[in-house]
Amino acid sequence: MLPCLNKQLFGIDCLGCGAQRALVLVLQGEFSAAFKMFPAIYPILILLLFLVTNLFYKFKGDWYIKAALIVVSAAVIIGAYIYKMSFLIN
């Protein structure tokens, strides 16, 4: 696994910390462990699946679907990061 440069330099997790391990856990079939490691793994995988599918099949209003999936993914990433960092403060 690639080390997190932000964590090595500053000692705190970045927004993407845990994504690599979560992807490996998904590929191994450990779905709940992947969610606990990085909750945004599933919205990101859905977004990637939609983007690949959209290369071959064009959908009406696909821009809105892409935008919504990006917003949901970003919201989950930021929300999970705030939740994780709130435990460091306490």
List pLDDT tens digits, range 48-62: 999 999 999 998 999
* Tokens encoding 20: 């690599």
At 90 the pLDDT is: 60
Q: From residue 23, how far is each of 10, 13, 75, 86, 88 by CA, in Å?
A: 24, 17, 19, 24, 24
Averaged pLDDT score across all residues of the chain:
92
CA distance 8 to 52: 34
pLDDT digits (tens, 9 = 90+) for 21-50: 999 999 999 999 999 999 999 999 999 999
pTM of the model: 0.86
At 73 the pLDDT is: 97
At 24 the pLDDT is: 96
